A and B are shown apart, each in its own frame.
Chain A
Amino acid sequence: MDQLAATAPASDLATKHAEKSGTAAPTPQQLMAELRIRPTPGPLRNLPSGLQIFLSNGKGMAGVIILAVFIIMAALAPLISPYDPYRRAGKPHIEPGVEHFLGTSRQGKDIYSQLLAGGRTSLTVGFIAGGSATLIGLIVGISAGYFGGRTDEILTFFVNVALVLPALPLIIVFASFVEEASPTIIGLVLAFTGWGWSARTIRTQTLAIKSREFVLAAELMGEAKWRIILMEIFPNMLSFVIGGFVLATIYGILAEAGLEFIGLGSPNSVTWGTMLYWAQHAQALETGAWWEVWPEAIAIMVTGAALVLINFAVDEITSPQLRAARLGGRIRRFLKRRGRSVDVF
């Protein structure tokens, strides 16, 4: 973006425009302010372009900051939680106050401590499920795309099966035969059922990269296949892998909460999902104990929203058209104000 400021044409155009209309020419700085274009801050300039785009994207950074706060709170949970989340800390259903920051549950457990401990488990399970699903998708997708032929046919069959089979009913069958599905088991089952999407995008991407010159060059130089995959292909689809990871994590966190909420998890573990389950079980809303429901509900919503924001930023890296769409709106408004045709964009 800073090239726009550096090159002369912008100011040239402005002077010509001014000569015609007879008003003072707006300086390049004024034009940039109107277009809301800021020069890339110094420290960012040496980073890879993808990272630059991400770091200068307001939505993405907002998501990262929200998520970072949640992760730090979850990591520090044992240090900052005032009570033991697994034990009674007071009378049942105490309203939020000085003693209990977010009140207590029907069973007299401190909600704030439970929220912290629950976040620890829910986020861990979500990230592990998302990470494993992405890893499976990556391995299957790259192998199918790169090796092609019979390998591709067989792997693509399994990718399509994983895409097409409905995950939740399968998980229900699985979880109901395992006595008390712990968060770890739920996470693993989610990874096992949720890798189809990333495998498919990564396979398509591998096919696109495979025929590029630099891969051909590496092949002609006689590099080992694993080296070509790891050093040539993988770095070129990092943003797709990260995008897949973010989506799989959203799915992991939401699905875990949903499964535990309907009582498929182990009721003794403390996660946001089981907190909702107990709140629903204790008829917290009917009895007016809103504080047993809203904290974890809001936590789930905010986590989901933060991950969605990050995903928006990653999407703009993988697809330049989407990035252009966001900036294009400003340029069109800019031109419209000057009475120019806006049909070009």
Chain B
Amino acid sequence: MLFLLRRLGFYLAAFFVAITLNFFIPRWMPGDPTTRIVLSLRGKIKPEQIEAIKKAYGYSGSLLDQYWLYLQRLSHFDFGISTVNFPAPTSDLLFYAAGWTLFLVGVATALSFGIGIVMGIYSAWHRGGFFDSVFTPVNVMLNAFTPAVVALLLWYAFSLEWALFPLGRAHDIDLTPGWDFNSAVNIAWHATLPVISIVLVNFGAWHLGMRNTMINLLNEDFVVLAKAKGLPDRRIRYRYVARNAILPQITSLALSMGYVLGGAFITEVVLNYPGLGKFTLNAIEARDYSFIQAQLLLLTGSVLIANLASDILNVIFDPRLRTGSRH
């Protein structure tokens, strides 16, 4: 319990660092959003109006006042007014987009983690064998093929050349997504290509991580003892080695969520999927700063929650942590 409380404290502190960076970056940079609005109006604006704009965006007063106001607004999930979807608040669009991204990344991560772990266990058990010597390097190389290129390749082959999958979108335009069979099929069909391309660039990392951790464990005394006792191979493989090797993978899965989300952003842009990545890109082009800043906080929050979840899983699976001692 103490362990979890310590971790929770750390995540809150890390989130605070992100919030603070998010506050200072636009104020350090040459042009803040209000200057840009004022410049775009080319002098056709009164000083009072400039002041009003600054106030609406939270850029007036001393830095400390601004920071305080910023924190107050954040505590109400008020990310400001979207300049693109004016006058809708940013949070509407943000949560719509986040839903699709969460769906995509959730499915893809579950698949790539599962595939990677299974392949890792197999190639560690048969280390130096054919599968291990061929597929370990190949899968890790796939990992280095960058989301942009992989998604582009898949899109070209399956959407453009053979037209097996749609050219984009999360579902057909005339379909209102609901909890029925038709919607599910339609949504799954649209999500196939993005999910495949996220899985392709991610599962190699889990394959390699699981394999290397398992190989290092296979020479431990407790494994030798288990063999000497004459336990069946299956039991040693899964209960003794894999169970111990999977914990570090869960931790590094949580840590790499930021990286996976980054890859998903690019995949969404290439495949025209209406998730956070796509809308963030639109926001960048339209200079919608409130959206850009909100996506940072949302993603940081989700990554931190993923890490907390992995800590909880670690406590459940690793009895050493339950006593509260330092590992």
Which residue from chain B places its CB closest to the CB of A330 in the assembled complex? B128
CA distance A330 to B128 in the complex (A): 7
Cβ of A117 within 8 Å of any chain B Cβ, yes or no, is: no
Central interface residue in A165, A169, A176, A328, by most chain B CB within 10 Å:
A169
Cβ of B156 within 8 Å of any chain A Cβ, yes or no, is: yes
Interface 9-mer from A69-77, A86-94, A141-149, A259-267:
A259-267
Given contacts A301-B146, A305-B144, A308-B137, contact A164 B266 (CB under 8 A): no
Q: Which residues of A contact B153 (CB under 8 A)?
A: 297
CA distance A327 to B293 in the complex (A): 51
Which residue from chain B places its CB closest to the CB of A288 in the assembled complex? B160
Which residue from chain A places its CB closest to the CB of B265 in the assembled complex? A168
A165–B137 CB distance below 8 A:
no
CA distance A316 to B148 in the complex (A): 30
B149–A178 CB distance below 8 A:
no
B227–A343 CB distance below 8 A:
yes
Cβ of B91 within 8 Å of any chain A Cβ, yes or no, is: no
Interface 9-mer from A211-219, A236-244, A318-326:
A318-326
CA distance A168 to B265 in the complex (A): 9
B296–A173 CB distance below 8 A:
yes
Q: Which residues of B contact A343 (CB under 8 A)?
A: 227
Cβ of A312 within 8 Å of any chain B Cβ, yes or no, is: yes
Given contacts A286-B160, A297-B149, contact A262 B292 (CB under 8 A): no
> Binary interface profile of B, 196-232, with partner A (CB < 8 Å = 1, else 0)?
0000000000000000100110010000000100000
**A-B contacts, CB under 8 A, total:** 170
A165–B149 CB distance below 8 A:
no
The 8 Å CB contact of B304, one of A164, A174, A263, is A164
CA distance A276 to B148 in the complex (A): 9
A172–B284 CB distance below 8 A:
yes
Central interface residue in A174, A254, A286, by most chain B CB within 10 Å:
A254
B14–A160 CB distance below 8 A:
yes
Which residue from chain B places its CB closest to the CB of A327 in the assembled complex? B128
CA distance A292 to B141 in the complex (A): 23
B29–A177 CB distance below 8 A:
yes
Consensus secondary structure, chain B interface? helix
> Binary interface profile of A, 305-345, with partner B (CB < 8 Å = 1, else 0)?
10111001001000101100111111010000000000100
> Binary interface profile of B, 260-289, with partner A (CB < 8 Å = 1, else 0)?
011101100110000001001100110101
- Assign chain B's interface to a size class: 35 or more
CA distance A160 to B14 in the complex (A): 8
Task: Give B249 Cβ to nearest chain A Cβ, in Å.
Answer: 15
Q: Which residues of B contact A304 (CB under 8 A)?
A: 141, 144-146
> Binary interface profile of B, 292-316, with partner A (CB < 8 Å = 1, else 0)?
1101100110011001000000000
Cβ of A26 within 8 Å of any chain B Cβ, yes or no, is: no
B307–A164 CB distance below 8 A:
yes
A164–B227 CB distance below 8 A:
no
Q: Which residues of B contact A322 (CB under 8 A)?
A: 212, 215-216
Cβ of A231 within 8 Å of any chain B Cβ, yes or no, is: no
Cβ of B85 within 8 Å of any chain A Cβ, yes or no, is: no
CA distance A172 to B144 in the complex (A): 21
Cβ of B10 within 8 Å of any chain A Cβ, yes or no, is: yes
A179–B31 CB distance below 8 A:
yes
B128–A168 CB distance below 8 A:
no
The 8 Å CB contact of B144, one of A177, A250, A280, is A250
Cβ of A230 within 8 Å of any chain B Cβ, yes or no, is: no
Given contacts A285-B152, A293-B152, contact A329 B133 (CB under 8 A): yes
Task: Give A324 Cβ to nearest chain B Cβ, in Å.
Answer: 8
B261–A307 CB distance below 8 A:
no
Given contacts A169-B295, A174-B25, contact A300 B149 (CB under 8 A): yes
Task: Give B117 Cβ to nearest chain A Cβ, in Å.
Answer: 18
Cβ of A17 within 8 Å of any chain B Cβ, yes or no, is: no
Cβ of B18 within 8 Å of any chain A Cβ, yes or no, is: yes
The 8 Å CB contact of A168, one of B127, B140, B262, is B262
CA distance A255 to B144 in the complex (A): 10
> Binary interface profile of B, 236-266, with partner A (CB < 8 Å = 1, else 0)?
0000000000000000000101110111011
Task: Give A160 Cβ to nearest chain B Cβ, in Å.
Answer: 6
Which residue from chain B places its CB closest to the CB of A332 in the assembled complex? B128
Q: Which residues of B contact A309 (CB under 8 A)?
A: 137, 141
> Contacts A164-B304, A285-B160, A326-B128 given; 9 further ones with Cβ under 8 A?
A164-B255, A164-B303, A165-B300, A173-B22, A173-B26, A254-B144, A321-B219, A322-B215, A326-B133
B contacts, CB < 8 Å to A: 10-11, 13-14, 17-18, 21-22, 25-26, 29-31, 124, 126-129, 132-133, 137, 140-141, 143-149, 152-153, 155-156, 160, 212, 215-216, 219, 227, 255, 257-259, 261-263, 265-266, 269-270, 277, 280-281, 284-285, 287, 289, 292-293, 295-296, 299-300, 303-304, 307
Q: What are 26 inter-chain pairs, A to B, with CB distance below 8 A?
A: A161-B13, A164-B307, A165-B14, A166-B296, A169-B262, A169-B299, A172-B292, A172-B296, A173-B22, A177-B31, A178-B30, A254-B146, A258-B263, A264-B284, A276-B152, A297-B149, A301-B149, A304-B145, A308-B141, A308-B144, A319-B212, A321-B219, A326-B133, A329-B128, A329-B132, A343-B227
